[in-house]
Structure 1
Amino acid sequence: MLKTLIGGIAVGLANIIPGVSGGTMMVVLGLFNRVMSSISGIFTKENPNRLDDIKFLATVLIGAMIGLVVFANVLEWCFGNYPTQTMFGFVGMVAFSIPSLVRSEMKEDERLNAKTPTSKKALSILGFGLGCVIIFGMMLIAPEEKELVITSFPALDLVYLLKMVLIGFVAGFAMFIPGVSGSMCLLIIGEYYLFKSLLANVTSFDLQILIPLAFMGVGILLGIVASSKITGYCLKHFHNITIYFILGLVIASSIVLIPLDATYDMMMIISCFITMLVGGIIVVMLEKLA
């Protein structure tokens, strides 16, 4: 139980960092298959272990919430004091995760391609392009967030609460896509800083914060269930296309996260380069653990 709780905390830490995949963290900690089977078991009509599955998932989710809240406060400080350097740390995490994704997933893709017709290879390349287009398209249509640390939250109304369900769904859905970060997706669509600031202030027990987070939690649960079903199906039946699609998402993400509107002098360039390397080292260390 304690090991599962600690694993959940690590997954929560991963999910608050744009560029770090919660799904990858679950694989590293040996939780991924158990989480997938537990979600499937809950919705299986005849399952004598349903109670154990519920307890296991509840422990992981409680740990993840602890990790999310604790690390959200750390990121509040980082964005408040070193916003550009922090973003380059995320860029390093995403960029350094690409070789790992290629090595781990494309080996299977190459094996399948040995017997794959040229038409299917073309579809795989099309999947890669679609992944890139989606990320760049999201960047173009996303509203610009001017506040990196949000202290004044929107008033509670139906539209805002439904938006929180959607934000939670995006974060939860991305959790089971290898190499894709839910926080990175929120960053691209312009909702990451709201998500982070709400989590950082949860201990104030203000209803203006707790109620939106509750609706976000509903969205996260819906996203997890949907993602576990869809991702498993796509990887089983359309492995090549799915992997190329994921690779397109990750590569495009490493580009769009670069803060182009920052003012760069020599000291800023050096500090950004260092934080980018630190982000990359964190990812490499996780790979070694895996």
Structure 2
Amino acid sequence: MNKTVKMPRLAGIYLRGLAMGAADVVPGVSGGTVAFITGIYEELIESVKSINPNALKILVKDGVGACWTSINGSFLTVLLLGIMTSVVSLAKVITYLLDAHPLVVWSFFLGLIAASSIHMIKQVKGWSPTAILMLVLGVVVAYGVAEIRPSEVTPTLLIFFGAGCVAICAMILPGISGSFILLLMGMYSHVLTALKDVQLLPIVVFAAGCGTGLLSFSQVLSWMFKQYHDRTMALLTGFLMGSLNLVWPWKQTLSYYQNSSGEQLPLQQANVWPWAYQSITGLEANLPLCVLFVVLGLIAVYLLEKVGSKSG
């Protein structure tokens, strides 16, 4: 990486980080999706990949400035600041909106992910039989993950580390939600409790797991993009399309779990048609308003694409 990052671009990167952080807070939505449609996905993977022993050699031989440039340090730092700002400041807002207005929020994400899938399909330069197979595989995997019943675990430090490794890999994949993976592992509430109560040791171990997973997985993704770009893009598109199952607004709750605050929250849910939703749940389907928010999600992706094309 040899980019000189100018101030206007830093502002754009920070805004992308805000959007990624907001997405990663929601179980079922991935910050990797936002990174992709805003045009920074491959740069993010390559930048993280460059944090390796060679960067240490550059630091020793050529100094801090050369090392910082080699790892695209300004890009990574500003993006991380945006993500952290969003997680800290928007987590409660998004949680409130999901609780108070779930149908319209999920409708917005449905439009967002549907439009993002179309955007990603256009990035595949050639549709070979193998690429089509990878697309189908991605859909099946993402849909299957959404159908897995969440587990319950005793949160040891080793499990905190492993959860960090797995969740961060999911977070950088379009269509695979890191928050949802934590929920499946039975660690979502434990991680939130550790963060809320500032339990330093679990937080440090979880962060170490995230760092290990990110550095390792970025190497794999970078290699896949260079060697099998279209197949990789098709697989990631499949992940995104398969995740539409998770963000379908109208759901029937089959079972619940108790979070760290003692609240009963949905655990297993089944998708239902809008016209069946009211008879099953006794709640209004709000179809016209939901359609409006689906359209707003589509428009949001269009605007994000414009941002990515102008400043990417």
Distance 1:144 1:269 in 2: 33
> How far apart are 1:68 and its partner, in Å?
1.5
Distance 1:188 1:90, change over 3 A: farther
Distance 1:36 1:174 in 2: 17
The 8 Å contact of residues 175 and 224 in structure 1, kept in 2 or not, is answered as: no
Report what 1:271 is aligned to.
289
The structure with the largest helix share of the pair is 1
Distance 1:78 1:23, change over 3 A: closer
The 8 Å contact of residues 142 and 175 in structure 2, kept in 1 or not, is answered as: no
Q: Looking at both structures, which has the greater relative contact order when contacts are Cα pairs under 8 Å and sequence separation is at least 6?
A: 1
The structure with the largest strand share of the pair is 2
> How far apart are 1:29 and its partner, in Å?
6.8
The 8 Å contact of residues 180 and 250 in structure 1, kept in 2 or not, is answered as: yes
Match of 2:210, SS state, is helix
Report 1:225-236 matches (<5 A).
Answer: 225-236=215-226
Report what 1:123 is aligned to.
130
> How far apart are 1:214 and its partner, in Å?
3.4
Report 1:177-256 matches (<5 A).
Answer: 177=173, 179-183=174-178, 186=181, 189=184, 194=189, 198=192, 202=195, 206-208=197-199, 211-256=201-246
- What does the per-residue CA deviation read over 1:175-209, in whole Å, with 9 as the maximum and x for residues that have no partner? 544x43534753884769648x928x94x5x235x
2:56 aligned with 1:37? no
Report what 1:16 is aligned to.
25
Distance 1:94 1:230 in 2: 24
2:68 aligned with 1:74? no
After TM superposition, the score normalised by the length of structure 1 is 0.72
Match of 2:175, SS state, is coil
Distance 1:213 1:281, change over 3 A: farther
Percent of residue pairs identical: 23
- When the two structures are aligned, how many residues end up with a matched partner? 261
Structure 2, unaligned runs of 5 or more = 1-6, 254-276
The 8 Å contact of residues 92 and 277 in structure 1, kept in 2 or not, is answered as: yes
Report what 1:261 is aligned to.
252
2:139 aligned with 1:132? yes
Distance 1:29 1:127, change over 3 A: closer
> How far apart are 1:10 and its partner, in Å?
4.3
Amino acid paired to 1:80: D
Distance 1:33 1:51, change over 3 A: same
Report what 1:117 is aligned to.
none
Distance 1:101 1:46 in 2: 37
After TM superposition, the score normalised by the length of structure 2 is 0.67
Structure 1, unaligned runs of 5 or more = 111-120, 146-153
The 8 Å contact of residues 21 and 175 in structure 1, kept in 2 or not, is answered as: yes
Distance 2:161 2:286 in 1: 37
The 8 Å contact of residues 172 and 227 in structure 1, kept in 2 or not, is answered as: no
Amino acid paired to 1:140: E
